[in-house]
Amino acid sequence: MNAPRLARLLLRTCTPADLREDTLGDLEETYRRRVKAGAVRAWFVTVGDALLIAAAMCWRRLTSLGGSGLMTLHALDLRLAARLMYRQPLLTLTATIALTVGIAIATVGFAMMEALLFSRLPFEGGERFLFVHASQEPGGGPAMLSPDDYLAVATQATALEHIGGLTGSRENAVLPSGEVAVVTVAGMTPSTWQFVPHRLRAGRPFAASDGVSGAGPVALVREGFARAHIAEPDESVASMVSIGGVRHEVIGVLPDDVKFPNSPDFWVGVDEGFLAGRSRPDSDVRLLGILAPGASLDALEAQLEVIASSREPGRTDEGALRLVATGFTDMGPMGRDLSIVSVVVVVLVLLVIAANVGNLILARSFARTREFALRAALGASRGRLVTQVFLEVLLMAAVATAVGTVSAQAALRLFNTMDELPFWVNFAGGSRTTLLVMISAVAAAAVAGISPALRATRTGLTGCLEPGGGRAGDVSFGRIAGVMVITQIAVSIVMIHGALVVAQGFQKFTGASLDLPRNVLTSYLNVNVVRAGAPGVRAEPVTAAELERLIAGLPGVEAIGIGTALPRHSPRGVPVQAEPTGDSLPAAARPAPEVEVSQGYFDALETRVLSGRVFGPSDLLDQALPVAVINEPFARKFFGSASPLGRRFRVSAPDGEGPWREVIGVVPDLGMSVGDETLAAGYYVPLSAQTNAAYLAVRTAGDPMTFVSAIRQVVLDRDPAFVFNRFERLEAVAHEDRDFFKWFSMALIGIGGVTLALALAGVYAMMSLIVTRRTREIGVRMALGASTFGVLRTILGRAAVQVAIGGFAGAVLALLSLNLRSALVSRMGAGAAWTLPTVLFLLVCAGLAATWLPLRRALSVQAADALRAD
Amino acid sequence: MGKDSLGEFELLVLLACMRLGEADAYAVSIVDEIFARTGRDIHRAAVYVTLQRLEKKGLISTRLGAPVAERGGKARRHVRVEAAGTEAVRLSRQALRNMWTGLGTQLEDR
């Protein structure tokens, strides 16, 4: 009946030799006493005891050295580490850069995780804000609450200090000056306002009376918006603004730092009648709750469960009601999944980097075997030797942490500037991120430092000091390390090849010279969509044809058209089959993008008709024959050199074939699919009456942006609820795509570059180790007359095999992944033919560079020196 | 109090050692003695560290005894309070007495 082995091991390891006997004896004695009361409990208590004693002993050993404890103990090691770093700059630089990249990635990953999982509303009491969701069981679909349900929640959920409602939307606002702007609007039950910390710039906040049914519509406005579009804060109060077709009185101005709940320009009151069971709220109202001080989410959920079960069973068609509370900032499963992914990526990247750095350290540690042997002979324990190597890597990790976290902060600042980010999400990283990064740095240093040091000091160090003694232990570059090098080479080829292909697509995308007019205004719009329930809005929405007519009537408008895509939008291709002529066999379907356009589309883009004609009024009628206008690349691709006019083609999809369409005209390529020549061949068909989402193109006399307000006004007069999205010039269309290309390309280049650097570091480490291990053998072979080529072949053999396997696998994967990338980015193309060979050539050059230093060392070995060295 | 004066825990450990005597004073029995007389459930790790400190100050000395079967064949480290230790305890008692004097009424009121 001995004390737990773990406890004994802890004490044996951590207590000084002179105290070991009696501490172990005390451990046995106390364990035997305790075990009478229960073996399991005795085990845990004894191990806990041993842990505390071990910790106390370690701390005592450190502090008993006086002065600065740890620093005193390892000051010499640290100085030695600094000197080694200085004397081996290439290795130091390689390892530090690799660790820096790892720490930077870790910082970004952990900061993202912290932002996604632990964000809170940035004001006092913000953690008490939550949403109450209603769903129906089984199925989990959203449930409509009745006025009685709302009343039940409002009166019976006593864990809530307050319950209210929130909405969020984009609306047209007609401002006092007559200007029309699209604004972000937050609807809020006025009584909720008292829980949102704020200070007014002018006017008054919402009052409970603003939420009473029949109260006049009132609004609060953001200071920045008021100054830009209405007046100074004091003068903005009492202004009348039409928001979504309803006139609101501005009662107060809030500073720009008030962003609850969705960074709006206007806050408007929501009728609170639904909370008293008097009415049903708008369908898009979300139920907001604020926990009472001291109440827990669990208590609330228990109450909600009781409330839900007390409601009439089977009250919905689908099943029973279920009420669930989630934190206001809870990102749900998506946030959790993203966090898990980011942490897994961070851990994997850090592991790979640490393993690579570990290989470098192993190579160097092996070269220092004699030094280790000497120190061991002078009394240094193996632990001391290992600690020294660990401290060296820790020093590099410290530098890497400093540089990596600063670099990561720059990237995180970029994330924070994203427009769509909720205001409470802050990627700056907090205490959790700092702690995790520090743990990661120490863990990476441990993986990279301790393992190689243990291998280098494994056995027989003293044998190295004997005359003619060999190297200590059987230090080898393991198989896992070899596989890792191969994998990294393959991955880096895929990444860098992908980056080059994307970069080429980007270059073509931005460099395409399209013959398009510069005075065209565009906007994305939803037509034919009825906005139900908006007060004061006409039920009949404006149609596309009506929209064209209204805008065309404005002075200065030269032409207007609507289409499902504009130049540079690059719609996806559909399988198209040309009608065979004569006895020829039908050709296989090939992809070509289709765009629906109105009659005025080509005119708005000042399109030169190459042959035939464009659409006329008769082509847009429901019973009109199917016709199409094709672009020049389409004519070449499907009809060759023959005249395409009068020829027919159809969509030939697996799920059915479309009607044969007759070609009535040919136009130039208007930028159908810039960046991907394979999808440049496209065609246009008349705009369908069922099309809801489309783009507006208005050619104007003069600067097109000066027409924005007039266009909004004329359409709003007809349909107050119609919302234009962002207006922009034609040449700015698809700038998001350009940004995406740029970021995608940069990310691929970055990841590919890092991976390649890691792979080359692995190759370098392997070559260094091989040369170090075989110095004596090389010397002997040279002395016996071996040729330089023969020696090189022996040394390079393994590295060459690994680079070749990695290169081949990478090339295959790069070609295979083109399909995947094309699925992600339709207009990317396959890249030029020289792309892959160039990447492979670069890899060979980089591989040679990585092996050059060790090779030079190997070839400079003199037989006498090599033999004398041992 | 001076730099070398005893801390409260050091005093407790020294007093326990004096009560137990050299034959019975070792870490486990010191823990038991302090618990029995003060009700304070102290950890053995604290006793080890304190004994090391007291030994370094020259207030106690330790020696390994004979192996004991119920301790898995391990010996006990017996603690002996040196003259300097006894003197330190005496000085502590005097200091405490001096501080105590005149406070009787107040303490009774409590």
In a domain, A858, yes or no: no
Is A690 contained in some domain?
yes
**Could you read off the pLDDT of A780-790 as tens digits, one per residue?**
777 787 777 77
Which pLDDT does position A527 carry in this prediction? 62
Quick one: what percent of chain A has pLDDT higher than 90? 12
pLDDT confidence of residue B1: 45
More confident site: B56 or A65: B56
pLDDT digits (tens, 9 = 90+) for A73-112: 567 777 777 887 777 787 788 888 888 988 998 898 888 8
CA-based nearest distance B91→chain A, Å: 26
* pLDDT (average), residues A316-342: 76
With beta carbons less than 8 A apart as the criterion, state whether A492 and A582 touch.
no
Q: Flag whether residue A48 sits within 8 Å of chain B, measured between CB atoms.
A: no
The rounded distance, in Å, linking the Cα atoms of A822 and A813 is 14
What's the pLDDT at A474? 44
A302 and A345 housed in the same domain: no
CB contact under 8 A, A19 and B77: yes
* DSSP helix/strand/coil, A94: helix
The mean pLDDT value of chain A amounts to 80
Give the confidence band of A2 by pLDDT, cuts at 50, 70, 90: confident
- For the stretch A833-864, pLDDT in tens is 787 888 788 777 777 777 777 777 777 766 66
Cβ-nearest to A25 among B45, B46, B72: B72
Residues paired with A240 in a beta bridge? A249
Q: What is the mean pLDDT of residues A406-434?
A: 81
At A612 the pLDDT is: 92
Q: Letter for the amino acid at A554?
A: L
Domain boundary pick from A713, A734, A755: A734
Average pLDDT of span A747-755: 70
Q: Which residue has the higher pLDDT, B1 or A722?
A: A722
What average pLDDT score do residues A688-701 get?
A: 85
Contact of B23 with chain A, judged by CB distance below 8 Å, is answered with: no
Same domain, A96 and A34: no
CB contacts, 8 Å: B61 with chain A: none
Which residues of chain B have a CB within 8 Å of the CB of A60? 49, 52
Instruction: Assess B54–A contact: CB distance below 8 Å, yes or no.
Output: no
User: Which residue among A3, A26, A56 places its CB closest to the CB of B28?
Assistant: A26
A218-222 vs A246-254, strand pairing mode: parallel
| pLDDT value of residue A254 | 93
pLDDT of B110 reads 47
Residue A570 located in a structural domain: yes
Q: What distance in Å separates the CA atoms of residue A390 and residue A401, rounded to the nearest whole number?
A: 16
Average pLDDT over residues A737-755: 70
> What is the predicted pLDDT for the residue at A511?
57
Three-state SS for A697? Answer: strand
Q: What is the pLDDT of residue A539?
A: 54
Contact criterion met (CB < 8 Å) for A21 and B64: yes
Q: Do A311 and A343 have their domain in common?
A: no
The residue-averaged pLDDT of A420-449 equals 84
In a domain, A489, yes or no: no
Identify whether the C-beta of residue A316 lies closer than 8 Å to the C-beta of residue A144.
yes
Q: Which of B9, B74, B79 to mutate to test the interface with A (most CBs of A within 10 A)?
A: B74
- Chain B residues in contact with A36 by the CB 8 A cut-off are none
In degrees to the nearest 10, what's the CA dihedral of A671, A673, A674, A678? -130
- Is A28 in CB contact (< 8 Å) with chain B? yes
The per-residue pLDDT for A536 is: 44
Distances (CA, A) of A166 to A150, A185, A271, A285, A717: 14, 10, 11, 5, 28
Overall size of chain B counted in residues: 110
- The CATH number assigned to the domain with range B8-104 reads 1.10.10.10
d(CA A374, CA A474): 19
H-assigned helices in A422-578: 431-456, 479-511, 544-552
- CA contacts within 13 A on the Cβ side of A188: 26
CB neighbour class for A437 (10 Å; exposed up to 12, middle 13-18, buried from 19):
buried
pLDDT band at A533 (very low <50, low <70, confident <90, very high): very low
**How many angstroms separate the CA atoms of A847 and A17, rounded?**
51
φ/ψ (deg, to 5) at B25: -85, 110
The string of pLDDT tens digits covering residues A382-400 is 777 888 888 888 888 999 9
Count other C-beta atoms under 10 Å from residue A704's C-beta. 24
φ, ψ for residue A660 (rounded to 5)? -70, 130
Look-up of token digits 């193109």: A697
**Please, what sign has the CA dihedral across residues A205, A207, A212, A216?**
negative
Give residue A72's identity as a one-letter amino acid code. Answer: T
A532, A469, A870: which is closest to A721 by C-alpha?
A532
Task: Choose between A723 and B89: higher pLDDT.
Answer: B89
Q: Does one domain contain both A211 and A144?
A: yes
pLDDT at A408 exceeding the cut of 80: yes
The predicted structure's pLDDT at residue A464: 57
The answer to whether the CB of A569 falls within 8 A of the CB of A697 is no
**Amino acid at position A96, single letter:** T
Residues A548 and A471 in one domain: no
A187-A192-A194-A200 Cα dihedral, nearest 10 degrees: 0
Q: Are strands A557-563 and A693-700 parallel, antiparallel or unpaired?
A: antiparallel
Beta-bridge partner residues of A663: A628
How many independent structural domains does chain A possess?
4
B84 pLDDT higher than 50: yes
Examine the domain organization and report whether A456 and A573 are in the same domain: no
pLDDT digits (tens, 9 = 90+) for A351-377: 778 877 887 787 777 777 777 878 777
Q: Show me where the domains of chain B are located.
A: 8-104
The label of the residue with tokens 């928001």 reads: A243
Q: Which tens digit of pLDDT belongs to each residue from A198-245?
A: 888 899 988 878 877 777 889 999 999 999 999 999 999 999 998 877
Write the ipTM. 0.89
pLDDT at A829: 59
Higher pLDDT, A376 or A625: A625
Residue A868 DSSP SS3 = helix
Q: Which of A695, A738, A736, A735 is nearest to A828 (CA)?
A: A738
Judged by CB atoms closer than 8 Å, whether chains meet at B28 and A60 is answered as: no
Instruction: Give one DSSP letter per residue of A240-290, joined into a string.
Output: EEEETTEEEEEEEEE-TT--TTT--SEEEE--GGGGGTSSPPPTTPEEEEE
* Alpha-carbon gap, residue B104 to B102, rounded angstroms: 6
Asked which of A66-80, A603-617, A694-708 is least confident by mean pLDDT, the reply is: A66-80
Report yes or no: A62 at the B interface, CB cutoff 8 Å.
no
Q: What is the pLDDT of residue A748?
A: 67
* Claim to verify: residue A552 and residue A428 sit in the same structural domain: no
A561 and A629 together in one domain: yes
Residues A567 and A713 occupy one common structural domain? yes
Check residue A676 and give its pLDDT. 66
Size of interface A-B (CB pairs under 8 A): 63
Mean pLDDT lowest among A223-227, A293-297, A312-316, A595-599 = A312-316
**Model confidence pLDDT, tens digit, residues A106-143:** 898 888 888 888 888 888 888 889 998 888 776 666 77
> From the list B45, B64, B71, which residue is nearest A29 (CB)?
B71
Q: Is A23 on the interface with B (CB under 8 A)?
A: yes
Q: What per-residue confidence (pLDDT) applies to A394?
A: 87
Task: Confirm whether A247 is domain-assigned.
Answer: yes
Q: Which residue has the tokens 């390994």?
A: B64
Mean pLDDT along residues A652-664:
85
Please indicate if any CB of chain B lies within 8 Å of the CB of A19.
yes
Percent of chain B with pLDDT over 70: 93
* Helices of type H across B21-102: 27-38, 44-57, 83-100
Kindly report, residue by residue over A150-209, the tens digit of the pLDDT: 888 888 888 888 888 898 887 878 888 877 788 889 988 888 888 888 888 899 988 878
pLDDT at A530 exceeding the cut of 50: no
A197 shares a domain with A212: yes
pLDDT at residue A313 tops 60: no
Radius of gyration of chain A (CA): 36
Residue from A2, A18, A21, A22 to probe the interface with B (highest B Cβ count within 10 Å): A22
The pLDDT score that the predictor gives to residue A535 is: 43
Q: Pick from A15, A18, A26 the residue to mutate for testing the B interface (most B CBs within 10 Å).
A: A26
What's the Rg (C-alpha) of chain B?
16
pLDDT band at A419 (very low <50, low <70, confident <90, very high): low
Asked if the Cβ–Cβ distance from A28 to B64 is below 8 Å, we say no
Residues A604, A654 within the same domain: yes
Name, in order, each residue with C-beta under 8 angstroms of A772's C-beta and a sequence gap of 6 or more.
Answer: A363, A366, A367
For residue A91, the model assigns a pLDDT of 79
Looking at the fold, whether A45 and A96 belong to one and the same domain comes out as no
C-alpha dist (Å) from residue A504 to A120, A498, A748, A833: 42, 10, 13, 12
How many other C-beta atoms are found inside a 10 Å radius of the C-beta of residue A859? 14
Q: How far apart are CA B78 and CA B62, in angstroms?
A: 5
Range of the domain at A12: 5-64
Which pLDDT score, from 0 to 100, does residue A529 have?
A: 43
Nearest-CA neighbor of A107 among A336, A400, A437?
A: A437
